[in-house]
Each structure stands twice: as C-alpha cells, then as structure tokens.
Amino acid sequence: MTKEKVNLLQVIKSVLYALIGVQKKSNAQKDFIQPSPWAYVIVGIIAVVIFIGILASVVKYVTMVH
C-alpha cells in the first residue's frame, strides 16, 4: 500500500467508525500507514469531548424532568 494523504472528511469518518467499532479492516490498515497520526488523535479527542457533552446534557435533562 502506498502512503497517500487523507482529507479531513475521511479522518472524521474513520474516527467515528472506529469509535463505534464497525470499521472495515482495509480502512483501518489505510489509517495505520498514514505518515502522521495527529489528525486522527485530534479528531478523536474532539469526538470524545462532544460525546461526553451530549451524554452529560442528556443526563442533566432527564434528571431535571423527573
């Protein structure tokens, strides 16, 4: 496999698929041959922070309703 640059949309899709555990093996292999992991690290951190924010908001809403 050759090292080819990926765009931001591909990184986001890859991180989201990996977070829910449904990424294809071929896509995961493409991710591992990228020259720098920083795009994946940054997008992963942002995705986790957004997920935690949504989860906290849902919990706060549910506890306020009842």
pLDDT, residue 25, reads 86
Domain that holds residue 27: 8-65
Does 2 score more than 80 pLDDT? no
pLDDT tens-digit readout, 10-37 = 999 999 998 898 988 888 888 888 888 8
pLDDT, residue 46, reads 97
Q: What percent of the chain has pLDDT over 90?
A: 53
What are the φ and ψ backbone dihedral angles of 14, each rounded to 5 degrees?
A: -65, -45
Give pTM, 2 decimals.
0.77
Q: Is residue 1 part of a domain?
A: no
Q: Find the distance separating the first CA and the last CA of the chain, reported in whole Å.
A: 55
Nearest to 49 by CA among 17, 15, 25: 15
Q: Is residue 3 part of a domain?
A: no
Q: Is residue 51 part of a domain?
A: yes
CA 34/CA 1 separation, integer angstroms = 10
Alpha carbon of 47 to those of 21, 26, 33, 53: distances in Å? 14, 22, 22, 10
CA 57/CA 47 separation, integer angstroms = 15
